[in-house]
A and B are shown apart, each in its own frame.
Chain A
Amino acid sequence: MAVKNYILVCGGTACESSKATEIFNSLKEEAEAQGVIDDVQIVKTGCFGFCEKGPIVKILPEEAFYVEVVPEDAKEIISESIVKGRMVERLLYVDDTQEQKDEFDVEDIKFYQKQVRIVLRNCGFIDPEKIDEYIAREGYAALEKVLFDMKPDDVINELKESGLRGRGGAGFPTWMKWNFTKGADNDQKYIVCNADEGDPGAYMDRSTLEGDPHSVLEAMAIAGYAVGADTGVIYIRAEYPLAIERLEIAIKQARDYGLLGKDILGSGFDFDFEIRLGAGAFVCGEETALLRSIEGNRGMPTPKPPFPAVEGLWGKPTVINNVETWANIPMIILKGGEWFRGIGTERSSGTKVFALTGKINNSGLVEVPMGTTLREIVYDIGGGIKDDKAFKAVQTGGPSGGVLTKDFLDTPIDFDQLTAVGSMMGSGGMIVMDEDDCIVDVAKFYQEFCVEESCGKCAPCRIGTRKLYDILNKISKGKGTHQDLENMKTIGTAMKKAALCGLGQTAPNPILSSLKFFEDEYLEHVDDKICKAGKCKDLVRFEIDADKCIGCTVCARKCPVGCISGERKHPHVIDQDQCVKCGECYAACKFGAITKS
């Protein structure tokens, strides 16, 4: 019997953490129990992107979009959606534009409306563990096209025409990298995929690999043909077990189909893969450090030139791009560079995937054309700030980037615009902050990260990050001076000029940009010794107003360290020595009796 319905269960990391596998298994059991197992195909896909509402289950062809599903819903989903052909209304996603549930269409969900999916084209549509599903969506057609209809130069010209720039952060034109390697005279060349996504708060590459591993393999093989390389190496974080497993399955299936290995599709072109697991070092996202790590060494960067394109892995010419860059390439080959250039802005073509997180209603993975404004991302796609709080800033580029304030809400986001305002594209982390976030605290957070991740090879980064952190720490304790603020600018500027690699050169960015846009907040910490957001613990004190406290005991029960005491119906007291300043009591008190100062 032919399959009538498809049930797609999101198998992205966030949904997986919320029992997606149990849901998947329960759906199968229920379909079996209700006798419809032959009518329905149940698929675990890659990330749908709408992580906020996960776990997500989608029914095709009806396009029912079920959110926050739990394993116990399986029975009803099968009996209603599959057996009776109706929708389970209570699970349908509704946003404020859709009053009538029966007019539902996934395309209408605001979260998806402004998105254009090129990189994530297959995520949430196919079973990433089945090569046939990738092939059914034009998979490996681009490889076939280059092998039989294009010369290596044609491939590079198509890429040049597309204007694709590296998505790892720096935005270097991809075709130039390829062209350098192609032009290098050497019998052995390598193609490397940088999947060492280490930016905290970013998971675009992980989701791409988990949801559509073949797109990266296909792209790397295309590069191999274009530059004359026969080996691809994927360097991926060991912390991404699901992505690693799916890549391994994908490589095996592609070999079995003759799409990888010797004499691909009878063309005479050979290409195969190796997977290397990173071991947890942010600096290995820097390409020279990554190559040293693959070679089995401490992942310390080396000066450029020589560039990896000419002298890379094992000293051989090497093309190295990140996951998102690779995932664009099959589509560019199939639809043409001109098509790609038509999306985005003049100097930044195509789309960008962002991991939208923080104080935002719809956190998740979003892919938008370059040139989309921050306002569209935060308010239209992201659904605005949580709990109707005030927007404060967005940090792009993680520890290498900077803050964008509300003045930049209408700035089109592309590589050059972000650099012009003192931030950077980075790999795509986008953290939204609200009025409760302290800018000094966030800068300190990033600097602490950089101190830990600095490899220590060059003094500007090793010493600079530490000095910057110490100063921020002092400021967060109310002991900073005006001179400290000046010193941070001096140190930061020196690091930008003198550090060996991108890590050290960009590490001061969060501080320099926040100093520029939130100088007042730094001055409050320095002059007035206050942290209005209440994040800098040493500057915060929680107290109970005896006049307002009715002795309900809620705060005492909520206090995780048991430092609030008092009799029932009598005012309570906080033991200041024991208090960990977690603010749980402040959030729990319904009578406004707890003050934060």
Chain B
Amino acid sequence: MSCADCGNIAKEAREIVAEVGSEPEKVIPLLQEIQNRHGYLSQELVEAVAEEIKLPVSRLYGVATFYSQFRFEPIGKNLIKVCKGTACHVAGAEKVYSIISEKLGIEEGETTDDQLFTLESVACLGCCSLAPVVMINDSIYGKLNPAKMGKILKEYADGK
């Protein structure tokens, strides 16, 4: 990171704080705004926001690491969320997950080397009648099996 960026980061931190608020109760909304903008919590921006609201960085990280919503690494082009809710579990979510993990060579929370896919599992996407379900970016794919999942992955890999 060059220091030309430092000024930009401080500027963005001020923007975020102006938008969300600077009270200690706004820590979660502030972190959510950082993640909305960048897809993850970049250390530089978290530090800059902490400075802006005059709270120790540890306080922000203490909160961020508690909640599963927050990520600390950039995500790939396609974010795959495998639902592991109960309905999906009994319908075979594990098999769907294994196939993705096997084909892409990544585990939960990891991103492929070509930055094309990030794999996550989530507790419930709330469309249990379609179980097992996977969400890729904003699209939901339901009633999956390993073969179907393989095809969908290929479509994305081919540049969908």
Contacts and interface: CB of A to CB of B under 8 A. Distances in A.
Contacts of A293: 28
A171 interface: no
A364 B129 contact: yes
Interface string B115-129: 000000011111111
A279 B130 contact: no
Interface string B51-82: 00000000000110011111000000000000
Interface residues of B, number: 46
A282 interface: yes
A240 B69 CA distance: 12
Interface stretch (B7-15, B42-50, B94-102): B94-102
Contacts, number: 145
A296 B28 contact: yes
A202 B145 CA distance: 22
B131 interface: yes
Interface in A345-398: 355, 357-359, 363-364, 395, 398
B51 to A, nearest CB: 17
A582 B87 contact: no
Nearest to B141: A17
A8 interface: no
Contacts of A431: 86-87, 90
Interface in A274-288: 276-282
B67 A280 contact: yes
Contact of B129 (A206, A238, A357): A357
B142 interface: yes
B127 A201 contact: no
A13 B63 contact: no
A560 interface: yes
A282 B140 contact: no
Interface in A449-496: 449, 452, 455
B86 A395 contact: yes
Nearest to B140: A17
A65 B60 CA distance: 51
B99 A560 contact: yes
A15 to B, nearest CB: 9
A445 B67 contact: no
Nearest to B145: A584
A317 B89 CA distance: 40
B152 to A, nearest CB: 12
Interface in A568-597: 580, 582-584
B100 to A, nearest CB: 10
B86 A584 contact: no
Interface in B3-52: 23-29, 31-32
B80 to A, nearest CB: 15
Given A279-B32, A296-B28, A558 B128 contact: no
B87 A279 contact: no
Contacts of A558: 147
Interface in A194-247: 198-203, 206, 238-240
A358 B86 contact: yes
A353 to B, nearest CB: 14
B63 A201 contact: no
B130 A14 contact: yes
B146 A560 contact: yes
Contacts of A561: 99, 102
Contacts of B90: 358-359, 431, 433, 437, 442
A18 interface: yes
B126 A203 contact: yes
Contact of B86 (A13, A277, A445): A445
18 contacts: A14-B142, A200-B84, A200-B85, A200-B86, A200-B124, A201-B86, A239-B122, A239-B125, A240-B126, A278-B67, A282-B123, A295-B25, A357-B86, A364-B129, A452-B68, A455-B66, A560-B102, A560-B146
Given A279-B31, A281-B67, 9 more contacts: A52-B129, A206-B126, A239-B125, A279-B69, A297-B63, A363-B87, A431-B87, A433-B90, A580-B95
Interface of A: 13-14, 17-18, 51-52, 54, 198-203, 206, 238-240, 276-282, 293-300, 355, 357-359, 363-364, 395, 398, 429, 431, 433, 437, 442, 445-446, 449, 452, 455, 558, 560-561, 580, 582-584
